[in-house]
A and B are shown apart, each in its own frame.
Chain A
Amino acid sequence: MSEAGTPTPARRRRQEPLIPDGPVRASAHVCMAAGCLSMQADTVFDSLCERVTARGLTDVAVKRVGCLGLCAAGPLVAVPQKGRIYDHVAADDEAALDGVVDGLAGGEGGRPTATDPFFSHQVKVVLEHCGQIDPERVEDYVAVGGYEALTKAVTTMTPAEVLGEVTRSGIRGRGGAGYPTGLKWTTVAKTDSADGKYVVCNGDEGDPGAFMDRSVLESSPQQVLEGMAIAGYAVGANHGYVYVRAEYPLAVKRLTTAIRQAEHAGLLGPRIADSSFSFDVEIRIGAGAFVCGEETALIASIEGGRGTPRPRPPYPAASGLWGKPTLINNVETLASIPTIINRGAEWYSAIGSGKSLGTKVFALAGSVVNTGLIEVPLGLTLREIVFDIGGGLPGGGKFKAVQTGGPSGGCMPESLLDMSVDYESLAQAGSIMGSGGMIVMDDGTCMVDVAKFFMDFCREESCGKCVPCRVGTTQMYRLLDRITRGLASRDELAELESLAGMVRDTSLCGLGQGSPNPVVSTLRYFRDEYMAHIDDHVCPAGVCKMEPREAAVAAGEVAR
């Protein structure tokens, strides 16, 4: 299968942001993340600049910012001084554009964010600066307190104190598995290495329906770099790599700019903040392989090889990139670090519940009104996320399931809507936190078909190294395909269930081990749908096309 990613934005003359010399009365923040950009947000930006200049508003700023979150209603423009957001500001909608300029000049209009549940229920730590700063100007990040945490760490704290702060914050890996970040850092810090250690930022966000890391990299790349440098200081590493998917050209571009600007400003590179600590960062671009999100596969890919995982131990913390101790953290985890250092572990650990502390970013998509990017304290219920923040299903559709964790996750039914969204509860329900994709499904979705969709994904993305994953996912896909065509028997369903257990228990890496989850969870909560396909020869959602059974064809009762 061939693949492709989002296109690189066409080259054009670049309009500079409008920034008044004196005090700023109001500023228009034009969202330039991929969603809005694909709706011509760059033209909206140019038009707003023109209109503001034409009206002679000299104390008004117009700037480019990262993701404002409410992707469904783009292009978006926020006016933070007034606490308002303007949605559907299309490039050719004169009235909408004038409405924003009126707002800047002192008029009313737009949506108040303070009382809108989409905004008011969120707590922003990772996304604190998204939509506030221009991701391509390091001075913008510094102006909101950027690099203060790194300076604080390298000038006033010992590496052990930084480790202690991160450990006490209780933050766990945001890439999916939820391993305690402090523990991981401590292991790398304790491993001696005469010739260097590495920090790797895992930005190989491959789950379909997940775009959290991309939004962070596109909206606040300096924050990730700062987190990496702090991690480097804590564990004793001087080199970092950011691994980003080739499908995210805009994120690559903004990261490249961010690294250059940070080095130029002396915020990265040799002797940071006049300390003895040096840290540099290189970008490595993926080439379209989901398995590279697995840490040992990611290391193989950075080393220039095929991205196949290897058995652990040794863990990368002991022997990673080029055999050196390597700390691998997800984008979101690293982006949380500056705030933890600035505000302290106690502040951070007061957010969340139980063993799941802090906030989590989710990409809300599917059959939900407010599709977009949200950040919430861990421990909110699914219902609060889908119905309060997400605004429920469009057109009064009937809720059927919510899928979390991508191809390694599961589907949760209506009866679990009041479940708390934390690592333990999700695992208990047969899903995983995953990287944060959350897809809402209505009653027009066939759950067997959804399971087949994810199995097709795993089958194609299996690297082929271990047999259970390579052969098992193919066979499970074949069985699911037969069920969706109305050809399968009860015996085949039993075969599917037994294969699911075998693949889970014997695969080499997380891709194979997690691949049966969509099947197992849909069987657990939606078994009646499987049985309808098998026993009654119908797809209750009307998605699958049933074929005449083989036995009937053989007996000459029906023609194929």
Chain B
Amino acid sequence: MTVAADAPPASPTRDDKRWRQVDVRVRRLGARPDALIEVLHTVQEVFGYLDDDALSYVSEALGVPPSRVLGVATFYSHFVRKPQGEHTCVVCMGTACYINGAAALLNRIHDTLGIDAGGTTPDGRISLLRARCLGACSMAPAVVIDDEVHGRISPDGVQEMLEAL
């Protein structure tokens, strides 16, 4: 498989000990082909993202054709194919957040960091993601910075927090 030139050296190799966690999960699910999504969840939890090598590994472990593994990994937006930044900033784009100015938050982050949703700063420090709806509608607009939810936030507020990271 081809590996992009800018791929980080951290890409997991076959002898990486973390694969054992994946193997345990595969065994527990009986290595059934229909466990594909569950196993991909586990791989992403362990390694943070799904690269080509990881998909081949899962394909062999479950006896599912590589084409189908790639098809599933790219169909669902929860699965990411690139390593994420050191910090993550998630902007909720649910209806309540949208009408309360979520787009202005994204614009400000774009102006501050130069990245759009799905992007990571060139130095690999911050990844920007969008969420469909966090269900935190009572605190709209909401952002999640490194697993912490911040509600009723302004563009200035989000810029301050990102610059403090």
Contact = CB atoms under 8 A, between A and B. Distances in A.
B138 interface: yes
A211 interface: yes
Mostly, the B contact residues are mixed
B133 A38 contact: no
Interface string B58-102: 000000100010011001111110000000101001111011100
Q: In the complex, which of the residues B76, B134, B138 has the most CB atoms of chain A within 10 Å of its own CB atom?
A: B138
A366 interface: yes
Interface string B124-153: 000101111111111110001001110100
Contacts of B36: 304-305
B99 A441 contact: yes
B117 interface: yes
Interface in A1-33: 1-8, 10
Contact of B136 (A34, A306, A450): A34
Contact of B88 (A4, A372, A439): A4
B134 A5 contact: yes
Q: Which size class do A's interface residues fall under? A: 35 or more
Contacts of A302: 34
Nearest to A283: B38
Contacts of B72: 304-306
A202 interface: no
Given A307-B76, A366-B95, A208 B132 contact: yes
A304 B133 contact: no
Contact of B78 (A5, A210, A305): A5
B12 interface: no
A450 B71 CA distance: 32
A472 interface: no
Given A206-B133, A403-B95, 20 more contacts: A2-B129, A8-B147, A34-B136, A35-B138, A71-B137, A208-B98, A214-B135, A284-B37, A287-B76, A288-B76, A288-B77, A289-B75, A303-B34, A304-B34, A305-B36, A305-B68, A306-B72, A365-B95, A439-B99, A453-B95
Closest 4 CB pairs of A and B: A287-B76, A7-B147, A211-B135, A288-B78
Interface of A: 1-8, 10, 34-35, 38-39, 71-72, 74, 206-211, 214-215, 246-248, 284-290, 301-307, 363, 365-367, 371-372, 403, 406, 437, 439, 441, 445, 450, 453, 457, 463
